[in-house]
Amino acid sequence: MDALVEYGCIVCRNEGRGWVAPEIHHLRGHQWSGMGKRASHQNTIPLCPVHHRHGSGWEKGCEVGYHQSPGEFQVKYGTQAELLAQIDAEINDD
């Protein structure tokens, strides 16, 4: 988890904003057995509050939060699996 916080929001980073304080997003579809349980800590990506939950923020109407609109988030920023693979490759490379 510390490495994810140090990495910062992956979407902001990919968009050239540098480090932005993240929240930890547990990937949907990578859940333990049972409804409503979170994914393991190994299936997490760092997203700032705007990209995690809220949308808008940086430039009004230009940002999409995952929990606001998962489909639009995926189209705009990539799938959760793609972002997880990027994080894994970059953190494990360091």
C-alpha to C-alpha distances, 30 to 5, 9, 16, 65, 80, nearest whole angstrom: 20, 20, 28, 19, 10
C-alpha to C-alpha distances, 2 to 16, 55, 56, nearest whole angstrom: 22, 25, 26
Kindly list the domain boundaries of the chain, sorted by start residue.
2-27+43-93
Burial class (CB in 10 A: 0-12, 13-18, 19+), 23: middle
Q: What fold characterizes domain 2-27+43-93? A: Herpes Virus-1 (3.30.40)
pLDDT at res. 39: 44
pLDDT at res. 94: 56
pLDDT at res. 61: 54
Per-residue pLDDT of the chain (94 residues; tens, 9 = 90+): 899 999 999 999 999 999 999 999 999 764 444 444 444 457 899 999 999 988 765 555 568 899 989 999 999 999 999 999 999 999 877 5
- Residue entry with tokens 């988030």: 73
pLDDT at res. 54: 80
